[in-house]
Chain A
Amino acid sequence: MLAIVVSFYVAWNIGANDAANSMATSYGSRALTLKQIIFVCAILEFLGASIYGKNVVKTIAKGIVPIETLDPHFVVYGMIAALLSAGLWITIATYLHLPISTTHSIVGAVLGFGVAAVSQKHLELSMINWAEVSRIALSWLVSPIAGATLAFTIFYAIRFLLFQRFGVESVERVFRYLQVFTACYVAFAHGSNDVANAVAPLAPIFGRTLEGYYEIPREILIFGGIGIAAGVATWGYRVIKMVGENITQLTFSRGFSAEFATATTVLSASTLGLPISTTHTLVGSVIGVGLAGGLTSVNIKVVQKIIFSWILTLPITMLLSIGVYTVMVVFL
C-alpha cells in the first residue's frame, strides 16, 4: 500500500515537472495553447507509459539487482526503500529547484538497495549487473550529446535547405503544424521512458509469479501513466506556463528541431530499455539548435548545474536507499 502511494506520488511529480518541462517549448513558441498542451500531453504521456514503458521498467526492476536470487521479502523491502529514497530526494530537489533527474534518482536508489544487500551478505558484489549499470551510466552521457547532434543536424538542414529556398515565413507556417506533432511525440517518448522511474519498483512487488519469476504487469504501467497524466493536469500546467513564458526566442522550426531530436533520442533509449533523463536530453537538443545558429542566447551555466546535480543525485539516493533498506531488514 505504501509502495503504491509513493509510486503514485513519484509519477505525479514526474508529470508535474519533467513532462511539463518537456512541453514548455511547445508553449514557448505558441504552437499550441496551454489547454491543448495539457490535453495532448496527458493523453500521450499515458499512452507512451502504458504501451511502450515496459522495456525500461524491466531494466530498473531486474536489470540492475538480480532480484530472482534474493528472498522475495528482501526484494519487496528493497523496492520500497528505493521508492521512498527516490521520492524523498525528488521532493527535496524540487523544493530547492535543482534540475535533477528522476531517472538518476531511481537508478541510484535501486543500486543502493543492491549494495545494501551485498553488505548484508545476501548477494555477492559481482552479482550486481555492473555491465548494465555502466551501460546506463554511459547512456546518460550519450543521450544529451545525441540530442544535441540530432537537433543541430535538423536545424542546420532547415536553415540551409528550407529557409534559403522558401523564405522564413512560409517555412515557419508549415512547422507550426509539425510542432504539434513533435509535442505529441515528446509526450509519448517521455511517458515511455520515465514511467519506469515511478513504477519499476512496483513490478517485483506485484509481478512475482508462482514459479518465482518476475513479470511486468501491464496494470502498473497503466497506473504510472495515470499518475503522470494527473501530475500534468493538476500541477504541470503551472510549470509549463512559467517555463514557457520565459522562452521567447523559439520559433516553430526551432521548437520542432529541439523536440524532434529529444523525442527520437528518448524513444530510442526506451526501445533499448535504457532509462535516461528527458529533460537533460532536451537541454542537449536546445544547445544543438543554438550551435546551429538557431537561438539568440543559450545559457551554458545550466549544463554546470546539471552536472552538479548528477554528482549529487547518485550518492544521495544510494545512501538513502541503503539506510532505509537496512532499517527495514533489521526491524521488520
Chain B
Amino acid sequence: MRFFRSVGEIFGYSPFKPLVEHAILCGRAVGLLQKQFEAYKRSDFPAVEKLRDEIDELESEADKIKGEIRTKVSRSLMLPVDRHDLLEFLKVQDEIINNCEHVGHMLTFRKVKIKESLFAEFEVLLSKIMECANEYEGMIAHVQKLIETSFDKREVEKVIEHVEEVERLEHVCDMIQIGLHTTLFNSEDLHPLDVHIMEAWVVHLGYIANAIARAADRFRLMLQSR
C-alpha cells in the first residue's frame, strides 16, 4: 500500500516485551542446566550433549533479542526509563544465559565418575540457583503491571521485595559454593583433573547466580532512578 500519510510512527519501538522474553529464555536455560546435571549423574552423556545444544539454541535466540533491542532503542525514543540504564540491565541479564552456556559446555569436557555425596552438594547448589532464577522471573513478571500503572510506587515496592529475595538466595548460593570448594580441594582420593573441572563448574555456576543478582539489582536501579 503506497498511497497514505501517517503520523503513526509517533508510537515508537517498545523494548519491554522483548526484555521479558529474554528473561524467560534465561530462566529456561537454568532449568535445562539442572536437567543436564541430572543426565550427567546418570552418566547419560548423549543426553548431556543434547542438552548442551538446547542451551546453545536458547542462548542464540536470546542474543537475537538482545541485538534487536540494542539496535532499535535509539536516542530519539522517549522511554519511561533511562535508555542507558535499560541497556545496562539487558547486558547483565544476558550474562545469565551466557554463563549457562559456558557451564553447559564444561559438562561435556570430561566424563567424571562422581561420588553420590559430592554430587548431592552440586544438586543443592543447582536447586538454589533455580530458586533464584524463579524469584527473578517473579520479578520480571511485574513488568506488564508496571507499564499498565505507569510505574506505580506500590508496584515498584513489590519488585524490590523480589530483588531482596534474589539477593538473599544468591548469598545462600555463595555459601554452598564455599562448602563445595572446601570439599573439592580436600578430596585427596580424586584425580586432580577431576577436581579441576569440577572446580570450574562451581565457579561458573556461581557466576550464573551472581549474574541473576546483578541483573535484579540493575532492574531495581533502573526503576528507582526514574
Q: Which residue of A lies closest to B3 (CB)?
A: A94
Please tell me if B4 contacts chain A, counting CB pairs below 8 Å: yes
Among the listed A95, A251, A279, which residue makes an inter-chain contact with B7, where contact means beta carbons less than 8 Å apart?
A: A279
Among the listed A24, A290, A297, which residue makes an inter-chain contact with B15, where contact means beta carbons less than 8 Å apart?
A: A297
Tell me if B78 and A297 are in contact (CB < 8 A).
Answer: yes
* B-side contacts of A261, CB under 8 Å: none
- Chain B nearest Cβ from A24, distance in angstroms: 6
Interface size class of B (residues with CB under 8 A): 20 to 34
Complex Cα distance A280/B5, Å? 12
Tell me if A302 and B16 are in contact (CB < 8 A).
Answer: no
- Chain A nearest Cβ from B88, distance in angstroms: 18
Please tell me if B109 contacts chain A, counting CB pairs below 8 Å: no
- Chain A nearest Cβ from B19, distance in angstroms: 11
* B-side contacts of A297, CB under 8 Å: 11-15, 77-79
Please tell me if A239 contacts chain B, counting CB pairs below 8 Å: yes
Among the listed A163, A235, A295, which residue makes an inter-chain contact with B11, where contact means beta carbons less than 8 Å apart?
A: A295
Please tell me if B150 contacts chain A, counting CB pairs below 8 Å: yes
* B-side contacts of A246, CB under 8 Å: 8, 11
* B-side contacts of A304, CB under 8 Å: 76
Please tell me if A286 contacts chain B, counting CB pairs below 8 Å: yes
Tell me if A24 and B150 are in contact (CB < 8 A).
Answer: no
Which residues of chain B from 1 to 37 have a CB within 8 Å of any chain A CB?
1-16
- Chain A nearest Cβ from B76, distance in angstroms: 4
Q: Which of A98, A159, A168, A235 has its CB near the most chain B CB atoms (within 10 A)?
A: A168
Complex Cα distance A282/B10, Å? 10
Please tell me if B45 contacts chain A, counting CB pairs below 8 Å: no
- Chain B nearest Cβ from A265, distance in angstroms: 15
* B-side contacts of A88, CB under 8 Å: none
Please tell me if B151 contacts chain A, counting CB pairs below 8 Å: yes
* B-side contacts of A238, CB under 8 Å: 1, 4
Tell me if B78 and A302 are in contact (CB < 8 A).
Answer: no
- Chain A nearest Cβ from B70, distance in angstroms: 15
Please tell me if B43 contacts chain A, counting CB pairs below 8 Å: no
Please tell me if A100 contacts chain B, counting CB pairs below 8 Å: yes
Tell me if B152 and A164 are in contact (CB < 8 A).
Answer: yes
Tell me if B10 and A302 are in contact (CB < 8 A).
Answer: yes
- Chain A nearest Cβ from B155, distance in angstroms: 9
Complex Cα distance A122/B62, Å? 70
Please tell me if B80 contacts chain A, counting CB pairs below 8 Å: yes
Interface residue count for A (Cβ, 8 Å)? 52
Among the listed B5, B15, B149, which residue makes an inter-chain contact with A94, where contact means beta carbons less than 8 Å apart?
A: B5
Given the contacts A17-B4, A94-B5, A95-B3, A298 and B10 also touching, CB distance less than 8 Å:
yes
- Chain A nearest Cβ from B158, distance in angstroms: 14
* A-side contacts of B151, CB under 8 Å: 293
* B-side contacts of A18, CB under 8 Å: 5
Tell me if B5 and A21 are in contact (CB < 8 A).
Answer: yes
- Chain B nearest Cβ from A64, distance in angstroms: 24
Among the listed A100, A296, A301, which residue makes an inter-chain contact with B9, where contact means beta carbons less than 8 Å apart?
A: A301
Complex Cα distance A79/B74, Å? 45
Tell me if B3 and A243 are in contact (CB < 8 A).
Answer: no
* A-side contacts of B3, CB under 8 Å: 94-95, 235
- Chain B nearest Cβ from A62, distance in angstroms: 28
- Chain B nearest Cβ from A225, distance in angstroms: 21
Among the listed B12, B145, B149, which residue makes an inter-chain contact with A299, where contact means beta carbons less than 8 Å apart?
A: B12
Complex Cα distance A33/B123, Å? 53
Please tell me if B178 contacts chain A, counting CB pairs below 8 Å: no
Q: Which residue of B lies closest to A245 (CB)?
A: B8
Tell me if A17 and B11 are in contact (CB < 8 A).
Answer: no
Complex Cα distance A246/B147, Å? 18
Tell me the B residues contacting A by CB distance below 8 Å: 1-16, 74, 76-80, 145, 147-152
A24-B8, A297-B15 given. 18 additional CB < 8 A pairs? Answer: A21-B6, A94-B4, A95-B2, A99-B5, A99-B7, A163-B150, A163-B152, A164-B152, A239-B6, A243-B6, A250-B11, A291-B78, A292-B150, A297-B77, A297-B78, A298-B10, A299-B77, A300-B78
A-B contact pairs, 15 of them (CB 8 A): A94-B3, A99-B6, A172-B148, A235-B3, A238-B1, A239-B4, A242-B4, A247-B8, A297-B12, A297-B13, A299-B9, A299-B11, A299-B78, A301-B74, A306-B7
Tell me the A residues contacting B by CB distance below 8 Å: 16-18, 21, 24, 28, 93-95, 97-100, 159, 163-164, 168, 172, 235, 238-239, 242-244, 246-251, 279-280, 282-283, 286-287, 290-302, 304-306
